[in-house]
Amino acid sequence: MTLKQSFLLSFALCMSFIAIAQSQSNNQYFRHLKYNHVSPYVKLTGTYPISEAVASTTSHYIFTYNRKNQLILITNNHYFTERRHPLASIGAYKTIITYQDNQETRIFLDVKGNRVSNDRGVYKEVFTLNKDGNYTALQFFDLEDEPMASNWKISKYSWIKHKKMVIEKRVNLDNKPQSLSTYFDFGTTGMTFKKDGSPLANYNLNADMQVVNNGAGVASYQDSYDDFGNHVKYAYYDASNTLVNNANGFAVGIKVYDSIGNYIKQQIFDKDMTLLRDREIANNQYVKLSDIASKEDSLEIKRIALGYLKALQELKPELMQEVMNDSLNKVTIGFNRTLRKEVVTAISRDRMIENAKNWNKSNTKFPPSPNNQVKILDVYHRIATVKLFSDNWVEYLHLIKLDGKWSIINLLWQHKNVKRYPF
């Protein structure tokens, strides 16, 4: 069977499964997925149940269950844009879940029904379950059902019960031990949970199953959830269970939610509970429109835009360096004689700085009294669009404000004499 035939068969089977599932099942609607930054051992759970009618008007997930009350399909209609942890999101439109013997298999589809990878970067997940329905292993596969590693370089998870903890080990494709993630150095871990399945703590363990510090002095992170399933607190501790700053320089995070479970605010504290940061969480549900541009911003935008021309006219490379962003993209229309077609030609920021040193050294590139005009077309918070007129060119500029300073990041120009352009 060719790869194309395999894809077509897979697509047909997926569509058949969805059709059967929807005709022999019931749906439940949730505003959110329960947050998880601990392990894929944590079961997928919806929070803030809503009706189908309410779901039709807002971001949501659909959990589809079969007659045995097994979760067989998750439809992802979540479109708010707050940042999510890879263990707390899906990254696919549909997640199909099937059960056979002691295995639970998940595959992932886009809106057209094509197989895609999830937020872990894998195409298929196969969980092994024990007689109590708890996971004991997880393995990742690619589109050809060959073993693969996740974007955290993990190929397999395994879980066993040890006293009051669930012990997690991870290996890569070479069957070598792998850290919890590519950015957090925990090896073998021990997890504890509340009766409802919410994580309580995740401990870094040595070979003797003792809690030990990692290289950054962290031995555990501990979580709190409220009665609605919201993840409201996470904190880092050393092996003596004393608050400690993690590798990112903080010890405690507090998360605030609105009345329907939207994550709206975060507070970060150090090990002494000194507030380090207090910020609102941006997403596209609560949109704050930009204020009208201030007089100071408008004057500065005009100064930066005109500064580009003055730098050329008056041989001021320092001014050119100031007004041009490091990521400058300056383009115009050119003609490729070999291809015999019009093309886009670009000039780099470094070239512009060099031009400001000597391009007008004869003082003949511009009139004695240059006619420079600038018109601000639009300003929205920290981005702006400007139209620039000179004796030589008409130009459209995009400006950006970074760390309180405006600079030109995009510049599209052409000669005022349009006869220079062939048609």
Q: Note the pLDDT tens digit of each residue in 120-170.
A: 999 999 999 999 999 999 999 999 999 999 999 999 999 999 999 999 999
Average pLDDT of span 359-368:
92
Full-model pTM: 0.73
Q: Does residue 3 register a pLDDT over 50?
A: no
Is 180 a domain residue? yes
In this structure, the answer to whether residues 73 and 109 fall within a common structural domain is yes
Average pLDDT of span 100-104:
96
In this structure, the answer to whether residues 351 and 319 fall within a common structural domain is yes
pLDDT at 13: 55
Burial category of 145 from C-beta neighbours within 10 Å (exposed 0-12, middle 13-18, buried 19 and up): exposed
d(CA 410, CA 125): 43
Q: What number of other Cβ atoms are within 10 A of residue 86's Cβ? A: 18
Where do the DSSP E strands lie in 69-172? Answer: 71-77, 94-100, 103-109, 124-129, 135-141, 156-162, 165-171
Q: Does residue 305 register a pLDDT over 90?
A: yes
In this structure, the answer to whether residues 154 and 300 fall within a common structural domain is no
Rg of the Cα atoms in the chain: 29
d(CA 220, CA 38): 11
Domain count within the chain = 2
List all residues 6 or more positions away from 196 whose beta carbon is below 8 Å from its beta carbon. none
280, 307, 340 — which closes off a domain? 280
In this structure, the answer to whether residues 50 and 146 fall within a common structural domain is yes
**Which range of residues forms the domain containing residue 138?**
3-280
Is 234 a domain residue? yes
pLDDT tens figures, 383-423: 999 999 999 999 999 999 999 999 999 999 999 888 877 65
In this structure, the answer to whether residues 306 and 258 fall within a common structural domain is no
Is 287 a domain residue? no
User: 352: closest CA among 319, 379, 385?
Assistant: 319
d(CA 259, CA 261): 6
In this structure, the answer to whether residues 116 and 90 fall within a common structural domain is yes
User: 146: closest CA among 289, 3, 29, 274?
Assistant: 3
Average pLDDT of span 35-55:
95
d(CA 186, CA 246): 12
In this structure, the answer to whether residues 185 and 230 fall within a common structural domain is yes
List all residues 6 or more positions away from 354 whose beta carbon is below 8 Å from its beta carbon. 317
Average pLDDT of span 255-267:
95
211, 246, 280 — which closes off a domain? 280
pLDDT at 421: 74
Is 385 a domain residue? yes
d(CA 173, CA 266): 37
The packing angle between helices 295-313 and 349-358, to 10°, is 60
Q: How many CA atoms lie within 13 A of 182 on its CB side?
A: 9
Average pLDDT of span 322-343:
92
State whether residue 288 is helix, strand or coil.
coil
Using a CB cutoff of 8 Å and minimum separation of 24, what contacts does 372-380 make? Answer: 372/306, 372/309, 372/310, 374/302, 374/305, 374/306, 376/293, 376/298, 376/301, 376/302, 379/290, 379/293, 379/297, 379/298, 379/301, 380/290
280, 309, 334 — which closes off a domain? 280
Is 17 a domain residue? yes
In this structure, the answer to whether residues 192 and 303 fall within a common structural domain is no
More confident residue, 236 or 4: 236
pLDDT at 20: 55
In this structure, the answer to whether residues 272 and 403 fall within a common structural domain is no
In this structure, the answer to whether residues 22 and 129 fall within a common structural domain is yes
The whole-chain average pLDDT of the chain stands at: 92
Q: Does residue 255 register a pLDDT over 60?
A: yes
Is 326 a domain residue? yes
Is 286 a domain residue? no
In this structure, the answer to whether residues 220 and 322 fall within a common structural domain is no
In this structure, the answer to whether residues 337 and 212 fall within a common structural domain is no
Is 289 a domain residue? no
pLDDT at 16: 57
Q: Does residue 32 register a pLDDT over 80?
A: yes
Domain of 335, CATH number, reads: 3.10.450.50
229 close to 251: Cβ distance less than 8 angstroms? no
Percent of the chain whose predicted confidence (pLDDT) is above 70: 94
Average pLDDT of span 366-385:
95
